[in-house]
Amino acid sequence: MFLGLPFVTLRGQSALRFDVGSLKLHVLGATLWMDEFFVVLLATLAVSFVFLFVTFVWGRVWCGWSCPQTILGDLTQALASERARKRRRPARLALAWGTVAMVSAVFSAATLWYFVTPWEFLGRLVEGSLGPVLGWSWAVLGVTLFLDLGFVRGSFCATTCPYAKLQGVLFDRATLVVAYDERRDAECIDCLACVRVCPTGIDIRDGLQAECIACAQCVDACAPILAKFGKPTLVDYFFGAPGDRPRLLRPVVLALGAASILAVGGTVVAAVHAGRESLDLTASFSSRFVPRMGPDGRVVNAYDVALENRGRQKLTLTLALAPVQGRATVSPDRVELAPGEHRKVFLVASASGLGAGPVVQALLTATGPGGDTVRAQVPMFLPRTP
């Protein structure tokens, strides 16, 4: 999913990408602009609640089955296996290091595909024109990941990961864990298979430990050995301590489940209603232009106008200014915007019949071909003399 998602396009944009240049987030066919990023905050809260809910019920399934540290460690397991051999084979060791280098290069590049499209990245890579930003970003990410997979590996989970340190707070006595069945301790033959395969180097027989990532490699190691004696594995998944009765519907689980549903629902509603305006308009009085009155008695003001087309079609906007009294014309009165274009326009307004000054409020409108209209209130200053 991580490698393939950047290649998926929906409605002409990446399924998930943050465009740094335009500060827009493309997600599943929708586009969120910077002033709509409150949806990202809501999504973060929703993910947090869901994460807590899953942890209280199923323990560290994220760590064992979905965490990039675990998955990439599995992809480069050959290096750890070759190091563990008493007599190392140089050719296989070199191949294992090559695998680590390849995985580091590919996944660090894929990380950048969530900021530039993979087609742009690969095209510039072939042309040798990645540039300093992409080039150095790829190099730093690649070297960091190479050092992680080559030397740190599972010890990161055991010593550094904050989620492991929170395990005691996020678990209760009915959470799903990988545990050693102490009731059958006499059946253990001390083969140490469960210890040798543990990526974090713990002994599961010592009880639940913060370093355990619930990868279940100890289960896979113990099961075939005990099967030779006609007995089930001593290490397995249990809801709480071995022998305890599972209690899935607990108050904390129900509360987190309800909070997760509300948070996810709120995020969906906010995302649906965010970004529905295809146009955006901001205007302010231009300090570069002194208000003046022409020989015909018309008042002339100027404004700095910022227009943004948030749609996917080219637009021709009609601009108009309506003071609270009198009439006004603007120049230019039409502006064309390409899809996603942000343009600043120097707008000159000429008005008559404004009455007494010194300031009259006016409403600037920009209207699209489909009738979509955005408005901004601006002042009109009336000079005393021509």
User: pLDDT by residue (tens digit) across 72-112?
Assistant: 998 998 888 877 777 878 888 899 999 999 999 999 999 99
pTM, two decimal places: 0.72
pLDDT of residue 41: 87
CA 229 to chain centre: 49
* Per-domain boundaries in the chain: 173-239, 279-381
Indicate the Cα dihedral angle 110, 114, 120, 121, nearest 10°: -30
3-state secondary structure 192-213: CHHHHHCCCCCCHHHCCCCCCC
Under CATH, what is the fold of the domain 279-381? Immunoglobulin-like (2.60.40)
Distance CA 39, CA 110 (A): 25
Three-state DSSP at 274 gives coil
Query: Within a 13 Å sphere around the CA of 166, how many CA atoms are in the beta-carbon half?
Result: 11
Of 26-40, 123-137, 366-380, where does the model show the most confidence? 123-137
What tokens does 53 get? 């809910």
Instruction: Please say whether the beta carbons of 300 and 286 come within 8 A.
Output: no
The residues near 273 (Cβ < 8 Å, ≥ 6 apart) are: none
Distance CA 229, CA 218 (A): 18
Query: Tell me: the pLDDT tens digits for 157-210?
Result: 888 888 877 877 888 888 999 999 999 999 999 999 999 999 888 999 998 888
